[in-house]
């Protein structure tokens, strides 16, 4: 089993205790063929990740799109 979602980073919010929350949403552009395919397969959704690794959240850029691959863990 394998599922792929395409999501846009909407916000990076600092936590009071440290680290950040990265908020992703499915946002698609009807003019982009790939987005039309994703919209049909995964039309809505969001994800929230709490990240406490500066090297990880330092790579994230608000407004950029990211793929999320979901596969079964053994």
Q: Is 18 helix (H, G, I), strand (E, B) or coil?
A: coil
Q: What is the pLDDT of residue 48?
A: 96
The answer to whether the CB of 60 falls within 8 A of the CB of 31 is no
pLDDT 10s digits, 48-70: 999 998 888 889 999 999 999 98
d(CA 5, CA 9): 13
Give the residue, 1 or 17, on which the prediction is more confident.
17
Torsion of CA 66, 68, 69, 71, to 10 degrees: 170
């Amino acid at each position: 089993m394998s599922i792929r979602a395409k999501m846009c980073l909407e916000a990076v919010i600092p936590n009071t205790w440290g680290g950040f929350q990265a908020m992703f949403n499915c946002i698609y552009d009807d003019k982009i063929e790939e987005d039309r395919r994703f919209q049909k397969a995964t039309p809505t959704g969001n994800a929230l990740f709490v990240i406490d690794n500066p090297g990880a959240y330092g790579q994230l850029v608000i407004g950029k799109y990211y793929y999320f691959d979901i596969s079964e863990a053994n």
